[in-house]
Amino acid sequence: MKIPADLIRHYLRPIVAGRGASEPDPMADLDNFNGDIREMRRRAAAAGDLSVLRLALVSLVMAPGGRLRDFAGTQYPFNDGDLEAVLRHALERAWPDDPLPDPGTELPVELADIPEDEWRAEQATDLGF
Amino acid sequence: MADPLATYPLARKWAEKFYAVKGWGALGAPPGSPGLEKRRTDALAAIGTIAVGRDFLPEVRRAFDGGIKTLRKAANDGTAEGDFDVIDADILALKNDVAAQGAIAAGRIAASAALATAEGRFKAATGLCEEGGLRFLEGKIKAARAAFGAAKDAATFDDARKLAAAFPAQADAAEAHARTFALWVDAAIVLLMQYPPGVDRDTADGNRIAARNAAEAKARAGDFAGAKGELDAFPGDAKAPDFTAAQAFFAKLNEYEANAADCTAALHRKIEGSSTYDKHAKTGKEAGLKNKNYAVGTQKLTDLLTWCLPRKDLGARLATYATAMERHQAYRDAVALMNTDQKAGRFVQALGQLDAIDNDPALASEKNSWKISSTLKGDRLKALLDRLPEPFKSRLQTAWDTHEDLVGKKDFAKAKAEADRIEKYFELEAVFPLKAEADAIFARSPDTKSYDYLKTYSTEGKAGRYANARKEIEAAMPLLRRLEVWLGDKAKAAVLLAALPPAPPDLRADLDKAVNDADAKAKAGNPEGAINDLAGFLKGAGYATILAEIEDWQAKDAALAKRHARVGKLMGDAKLSAPLDAALADARKPATDRLAYTESFLELVRHEAVLAAAQDFAAVRRQVMGVQGGILKAAKKDPAILDPAPATEEALDKAVKEAEALAQALKFAEAAKAFAKVRTDCEALARKAAATFEEKDQDDKTGLVSNAGHSLDRHGPDVSHPDLIRRLKTGTPPNNKTLEEKSYTGASSKFASPQDWLAGRQLAAEAAERQGIDLDAKSIMPPFDDKPIAADFTVDHGRPIDEIFLGLTKNRKQDPTTGEMVDDSTYESYQEMSGLTRAYVNFIWEFPVIKNVDWPDPKTGVVAKKDVKARDIDEYAKAWRIDKGHAADGPEMPPSIPGRWVMMQQYPVADNWDDVAKTYTKDPKGLIP
């Protein structure tokens, strides 16, 4: 499944450049990011993108494959381990009733450089039969 | 670029001659004397021999073409033989200029290709190199860029080419040194722990830093052998052999990390011998990282790799069988034979032994059912169910539930039918994106539908033969993509057909036939053939000049339209952008009305310069509006800013109104100057306003320090470059009160002026208001879940506002718990960028502190008094409940949540910035304007 990388960057911006990332030591307490996680969820819910955001985050934490740094922003120098921990915390907070899938069973997600409008059109595709 | 022909004086001369000609539509002179007509015929023939090379830049090509058209018109208009003395001289001059430009173009193309290769290597090297190597490469690439930028003739372009051509080897050397350096850094950090704490360790650390700095100095000069020598001088004591061993260990550790997944696969418990090695990674790492026994660590990892790598395919295959399959004798037999072979080193044969399992129909069915149960469940199943319409959705759900029930009962014979059904529906996973792409092509190019490339897709789908439908659409998509290209070429050919001169008539008839023949090929399912046939025809039939004219115009028009839209957005006022829109339409007219593409192209080139000036005007006007708004807003918080009042405010208002009056009168150049003056004149006011915002944001009136209000300290115009670099390399911010204070960042940047900072804040604040966010609000009212508690924006100023140092490779540290070497929060190397035009701004809802709350520690549960400064609505509500005597996790919620909006961050944006082209390659969602 392809999801526009820029859309996920947009939703992650409150996390990588918001309240928690502005703390003197952001990683000292993952709860520093709770307000940012709420904001991320609120924005995605308003746009009807909660499911797709969750799939993208699950893919990033379960099969990072060197992709995490592309979503870390520059506000705080998150290393891969930092960002994975923050995203796991975000998944637990934002979707408390949806545990992570078993390793290897996560939906393969490609965070692709594709225009959002094309992707939205694709999501509404009718099979035609 | 204001004038695309500025660096091509030979071509520019002819563009100017073209611009000077009036009355392009007029007929030529009436026939004159035989002598005159011979001169005319000779001149036109001579003009016909001037060939403008395809290698020229489009602007240069069109300028020379403009010269040809100008001379042709002069020849047609000439009324006296004497006129042709001048015309013939001009023809010769143009011929010579085209030839001279040809040599320059050849040099430029060679240099440009070498520079592109060098830029690619530089980009790759930036993420690897240490500070010294990176600075060395940066110096080299900048020299090559500068030489290319300044080159004007064949010799100087060749000089630029030589500099660029030397770069890849320099990058290779720098990268090789970077790899050595990376091993050295990790090994040195671990080695330090072998020295007793105190003087010995401090001395060793001092030696380490000295060696690193000496190596950096040599690497900066490109002396990588010397740099290595400096690194090798550490530790320079009895621990030197240990250090060598440590570096060898880290090299092996890197090799293991690169192959870790394969090793994990090979350590499958069914492969005999795996138990001997399954702890090697852990014990090997421990030996090197914790116990400093590098030789043992290296040996363990070597043994592990040696055993695992030949068995990775076996492990991967065994992982496809469920544990439950071990109950079958046939499975156990195949595994036993596999083990006999693998122990003897016959790995190919060992893998072949497992085929017996897959070739047994019952076992294969069972394997497939287990695979479905374990890999298609959860998100993957849900994602497909979410997309499927009824009745497919219910059918898949029923098949899934039945299959899971049968698998639970180990009734794999019956499960097979359901497994087949499930797999059938999962064929549709791959169909959705392809169908979406096909639909997008049909929408963009409706004619593609009539070529009927999807013949059976729908029928097969309706019949439930999804695999067939998938097969057809998978095969059709590559053709459909090329069909869209063909239809684009066909449309271009139609434009060409219209632009062709009426004589000779064959010119049109031949092209028409070629298009029809090619189209027949496309209709027969061969769009690639159609594309190639027409391209071949056009190449060989003398249409190239006119086609180049059309293609150059189309490309220029598309690029300009994009930039034009951007400038219109920056203006944000339809009245102001209307004359610009009219000017663009006028520039397009020769092409759209008379098919005079070169003429229109050269008018577009002129419009480009107008557009650049308009962008300067729009950017400074917009910034001044932001600065004025920011000053007035800040004055509401601190009226002293406008002292002496009201004269200061009135003077600012008058100056802005005067500049705006010029703008409204469409005198853009004068308005730009007037706005620029306002911008310069209000620096002191902007400085005071910016400081006021920051002071107010810092003062949260609770006695606790707010994290807000530090943007100016860390990114303000008064911050020095060394301070910015220090923050990146050590985490110490420019406004630090103590050396212990840290504020780590991935990019350290500064605004060029307080006006830039203030305008960015104000423009973002206005955008927040447009979103319905009241930044002056003092409370949030329920329901809380849909209320924003943060708002962020990327503001494009349309002009350079800042400089940035972007962190590249990180420093390293040893994780005290695991002993692993990990990236630190500080940077070894950085890249300087300038000319950025965008700033990121965010506002955060700051919750008030609730003091003296009986707060349970989240880990221990121990309750202690605490002043709670909430980071989220939940946390605030919990503190409020405790404070009001309710249960901490009870249902009560505060009637409202007090607090305030603060600007938490404002800093320049380097994301997607191309520092060579000095432009952003992509726009973020919600860019302002």
Query: B900-908 and B927-928: which strand pairing?
Result: unpaired
Do B904 and B843 contact (CB within 8 A), yes or no?
yes
Note the pLDDT of residue B1: 47
CA distances in angstroms from B634 to B134, B182, B434, B450, listed in the order given: 43, 49, 54, 63
- Give residue B798's region: left, alpha or beta (phi > 0; psi -120 to 50): left
Going A53 to A62 to B368 to B359, the CA torsion angle's sign is positive
d(CA B533, CA A23): 63
Do B170 and B140 contact (CB within 8 A), yes or no?
yes
Do B350 and B338 contact (CB within 8 A), yes or no?
yes
Length of chain B (residues): 929
Task: Give the residue on B whose Cα is nearest the Cα of A12.
Answer: B792
Cβ within 8 Å of residue B764, ≥6 positions away: B793, B795, B839, B841, B843, B903, B906, B928
Do B425 and B395 contact (CB within 8 A), yes or no?
yes
Which tokens sit at B477? 């998509």
The residue among A20, A5, A17 whose CA lies nearest residue A53 is A5
CA distances in angstroms from A70 to A43, A67, B303, B538, listed in the order given: 21, 6, 35, 45
Chain A residues with CB inside 8 Å of B844's CB?
18-19, 22, 35
Which tokens sit at B483? 């069909």
DSSP line for B571-626: H--HHHHHHHHHHHHHHHHHHHHH--HHHHHHHHHHHHHHHHHHHHHHHHHHHHHH
d(CA A15, CA A10): 10
Which tokens sit at B762? 């104000």
d(CA B541, CA B561): 32
d(CA A9, CA A4): 9
- Give residue B795's region: left, alpha or beta (phi > 0; psi -120 to 50): beta
User: Given the structure tokens 């298609």, which residue do they identify?
Assistant: B376
The residue among B167, B147, B169, B168 whose CA lies nearest residue B158 is B147
What average pLDDT values come out for chain B (929 residues) when binned by 10 residues?
A: 74 90 75 93 94 88 93 94 96 95 94 98 96 97 96 95 98 98 95 92 95 97 98 94 95 97 97 97 95 95 98 97 96 98 98 97 96 90 92 96 96 96 96 94 96 96 96 98 98 91 83 97 98 91 83 95 94 92 95 92 92 94 97 95 93 96 90 97 97 87 71 92 95 88 93 97 97 95 94 96 94 90 94 95 94 91 94 96 95 96 94 92 91
A17: nearest CB among B439, B842, B873: B842
d(CA B705, CA B835): 34
Note the pLDDT of residue B702: 55
What secondary structure letter does DSSP report for B890?
Answer: S
CA distances in angstroms from B93 to B89, B100, B407, listed in the order given: 6, 10, 87
Chain A residues with CB inside 8 Å of B460's CB?
129
User: Given the structure tokens 């740094």, which residue do they identify?
Assistant: A69
Query: B919-920 and B913-914: which strand pairing?
Result: antiparallel
Which tokens sit at B691? 């400081």
Nearest CA distance, B122 vs chain A (angstrom): 19
Do residue A1 and residue B825 have CB atoms under 8 angstroms apart?
A: no
Maximum Cα interatomic distance, chain A, rounded to a whole number of Å: 57
The residue among B507, B495, B512 whose CA lies nearest residue B591 is B495
A107: nearest CB among B380, B428, B872: B380
Do residue A122 and residue B374 have CB atoms under 8 angstroms apart?
A: no
Please state the separation of Cα B644 from the chain's center in Å. Answer: 48
> Which residue out of B426, B738, B871 would a mutagenesis test of the A interface target, given it has the greatest number of A Cβ atoms within 10 Å?
B871
User: Residue B827's beta-bridge partner residues?
Assistant: B810
The residue among B565, B579, B800, B585 whose CA lies nearest residue B668 is B579
DSSP line for B337-401: HHHHHHHTT-HHHHHHHTHHHHHSHHHHHHHHHHHHHHHSTTHHHHHHHHHPPTTHHHHHHHHHH
Do residue B432 and residue A127 have CB atoms under 8 angstroms apart?
A: yes
Count the helices and strands in chain B (H runs, E runs). Answer: 36, 15
Going B84 to B85 to B86 to B92, the CA torsion angle's sign is positive
Task: Give the residue on A whose Cα is nearest the Cα of B907.
Answer: A75
Note the pLDDT of residue B340: 98
Chain A residues with CB inside 8 Å of B910's CB?
74
Chain B residues with CB inside 8 Å of A32's CB?
871
Question: What ranges in B388-465 are assigned the alpha helix state H?
Answer: 392-408, 412-444, 457-462
Do B598 and B549 contact (CB within 8 A), yes or no?
yes
> Which residue out of A9, A13, A19 would a mutagenesis test of the B interface target, given it has the greatest number of B Cβ atoms within 10 Å?
A19
d(CA B375, CA B475): 27
For the entire predicted model, the pTM comes to 0.91
Do A15 and A36 contact (CB within 8 A), yes or no?
yes
Ramachandran angles phi, psi of B756, nearest 5°? -60, -45
d(CA B798, CA B634): 24
- Give residue B542's region: left, alpha or beta (phi > 0; psi -120 to 50): left
Complex-level ipTM: 0.96
Nearest CA distance, B465 vs chain A (angstrom): 11
Q: How many CA atoms lie within 13 A of B767 on its CB side?
A: 21
d(CA B574, CA B570): 11
Cβ within 8 Å of residue B651, ≥6 positions away: none
Residue B495 has a CB neighbour count (10 Å cut-off) of 17
Provide long-range contacts, Cβ within 8 A and 24+ apart, for B600-603.
Answer: B600/B553, B600/B557, B601/B58, B601/B62, B601/B549, B601/B552, B601/B553, B601/B556, B602/B15, B602/B18, B602/B19, B602/B62, B602/B63, B602/B66
| Cis peptide bond prior to B235, omega within 30° of 0 | yes
Which tokens sit at B778? 């003092």
d(CA B487, CA B404): 50
- State pLDDT tens for residues A73-109: 999 999 999 999 999 999 999 999 999 998 878 899 9
Do residue A79 and residue B810 have CB atoms under 8 angstroms apart?
A: yes
Do B458 and A128 contact (CB within 8 A), yes or no?
yes
Give the angle B217-B218-B220 at the CA atoms, nearest 5°: 65
Do residue A55 and residue B822 have CB atoms under 8 angstroms apart?
A: no
Nearest CA distance, A35 vs chain B (angstrom): 4
Chain B residues with CB inside 8 Å of A6's CB?
922, 924-925
The residue among B327, B333, B341 whose CA lies nearest residue B359 is B333
Ramachandran angles phi, psi of B906, nearest 5°? -150, 115
Between A and B, how many residue pairs show a Cβ–Cβ distance under 8 A? 166
Ramachandran angles phi, psi of B746, nearest 5°? -95, -10
| Low-confidence spans in chain A with pLDDT less than 50 | none
Chain A residues with CB inside 8 Å of B378's CB?
101-102, 105-107
Nearest CA distance, B689 vs chain A (angstrom): 23
Residue B501 has a CB neighbour count (10 Å cut-off) of 9
Do residue A34 and residue B457 have CB atoms under 8 angstroms apart?
A: no
- Give residue A66's region: left, alpha or beta (phi > 0; psi -120 to 50): left
Residue B102 has a CB neighbour count (10 Å cut-off) of 16
Going B881 to B885 to B889 to B893, the CA torsion angle's sign is negative
Please state the separation of Cα B274 from the chain's center in Å. Answer: 44
